[in-house]
Amino acid sequence: MTDTATMSRKGDFPGLVTETGDAWHYLDTAATSQKPQVVIDAMANALGRDYATVHRGVYGRSANMTLGYETARRRVAEFIGGHEDEIVFTRGATEAINLVAQTWGLANLKAGDRILLSTLEHHSNIVPWQMLRERVGVEIDVCPLTADGAIDLDAAAEMLSERHKLVAFAHVSNVLGSKLDAGRAADLAHGVGAKLLLDGCQSAPRMAVDVAALDCDFYVFSGHKLYGPTGIGALWARGDILAAMPPWQGGGAMIDRVSFAKTTWADAPQRFEAGTPAITEAIALTAAIDYVEGIGRDVIARHEDMMVAKARAELSRINSVRLFGPEDSAGIVSFEIEGIHPHDLGTILDEENVAIRAGHHCAQPLMDHLGVAATARASFGLYSDEADIAALIRGIERTQRIFG
């Protein structure tokens, strides 16, 4: 994708301008992506002219919404290479990981079993397992990182034992942009009889994902990082695993038959979707997937690679800047500037209409590993261009002048 092609895409995103009509240089896509107009329109139509409940009504509009909702499930399955009966809609990746921990984890793990995480995991892939540890007594091991910030699979191979029942790794780090060799991770996990869960929040928007080829057992992602709405995400699990998992929440839609004596459950995936689902969000997620695939994730990846290379080159020319992560990070550049707290940098950049992330990025163990309290993070999307990087550099130079 050329810069010209990308700049033409900026017009698809109404959020990329300020109230005064100036360009807003949005460099926080790893936190949440801006939404193209087609997604906004899909959401508005689903909330307005097309709105009805799903799975319950016998009237025409309800049937149409049910079709749209289940089409979204099928579309998500196609997007990641799974089957529609393996897709559970959740509020996002956080809820999806909690679902696995509180259903599969409670049913299959016991005191003395081990879970392997890594130093770079998002809190959402740490805290649910700690909560499970408190309930059943599982033990958690932490895989170290390589010098350039990737999960050290050589170390993982040394650490794994038959006591390990789950390996849960980020497919792409939300701080460093480092990419996991998921195939090897799967081989290592399965070699000791463990399952592999991949946090796909940062990979789904920018990498071709085929869960069969990845050979993982669970894969999770959030819609709002995929140019879709908040409040919707998905859990994919192997069909046999999902079928054996007990329900998580009780209520309507997840049941087969209810009496005061006994309740029986619906088949998966409906068994895990209690209550009225995120109907409009699922339909808007379909529009987001269609939009992304209309461009091509390979095209998006090449463009973001170009943005990362350009940003790292420009930042490396500033002597007081320390860059984190690998040279080939996936759409993310984290850094610090000597003598300037990331929060101060973020505040001054905001005055220049530049939006970055400043903080620990819900990865405090990784911050401890890096020896910093926080980093500044510039993260790119399909709408990013060189003007955004130029604005970032100008803002940094102004910040340095302010701080002397």
Q: Which two tokens stand for residue 64?
A: 């149409």
Residue extents of the structural domains in the chain: 3-27+296-402, 41-293
Q: Is the alpha carbon torsion for 344, 226, 143, 147 positive or negative?
A: negative
CA 394, CA 371: separation in Å to the nearest integer? 27
Contact 266, 247 (CB under 8 A): no
For the purposes of burial, counting CB atoms within 10 Å of the CB of 2, is it exposed (0-12), middle (13-18) or buried (19 or more)? exposed
Identify each DSSP E strand in 47-180 by its residue range.
87-90, 114-118, 139-143, 164-170
CATH architecture for segment(s) 3-27+296-402: Alpha-Beta Complex (3.90)
Nearest to 142, CA basis, from 132, 151, 154 = 151
The pair phi, psi for residue 393, each rounded to 5°, is -65, -40
Q: Which two tokens stand for residue 316?
A: 């490396």
Helix (H, G, I), strand (E, B) or coil at 88: strand
List residues bridging with 33 in a β-sheet.
none
Catalytic residues: 362
List C-alpha distances in Å: 392 to 128, 172, 310, 319, 369.
Answer: 36, 24, 12, 16, 26
Compute and round to an integer the Cα radius of gyration of the chain.
22
Identify each DSSP E strand in 179-309 by its residue range.
195-199, 218-222, 233-237, 255-258, 263-265
What's the confidence (pLDDT) of residue 8? 60
Nearest to 27, CA basis, from 287, 360, 311, 270 = 311
pTM of the model: 0.96
Contact 192, 164 (CB under 8 A): yes
List C-alpha distances in Å: 164 to 125, 130, 155.
Answer: 16, 15, 14
**Would you write out the chain's pLDDT as a tens digit for each of its 404 residues?**
444 445 468 999 999 999 999 999 999 999 999 999 999 999 999 999 999 999 877 899 999 999 999 999 999 999 999 999 999 999 999 999 999 999 999 999 999 999 999 999 999 999 999 999 999 999 999 999 999 999 999 999 999 999 999 999 999 999 999 999 999 999 999 999 999 999 999 999 999 999 999 999 999 999 999 999 999 999 999 999 999 999 999 999 999 999 999 999 999 999 999 999 999 999 999 999 999 999 999 999 999 999 999 999 999 999 899 999 999 999 999 999 999 999 999 999 999 999 999 999 999 999 999 999 999 999 999 999 999 999 999 999 999 999 98
What's the confidence (pLDDT) of residue 1? 42
Question: Which CATH fold topology does 41-293 show?
Answer: Aspartate Aminotransferase; domain 2 (3.40.640)
Contact 77, 318 (CB under 8 A): no
Amino acid at 133: R
Nearest to 185, CA basis, from 157, 211, 163, 206 = 157
List residues bridging with 40 in a β-sheet.
none
User: Which residues, 6+ apart, have CB-to-CB distance to 249 below 8 Å?
Assistant: 272, 274, 275
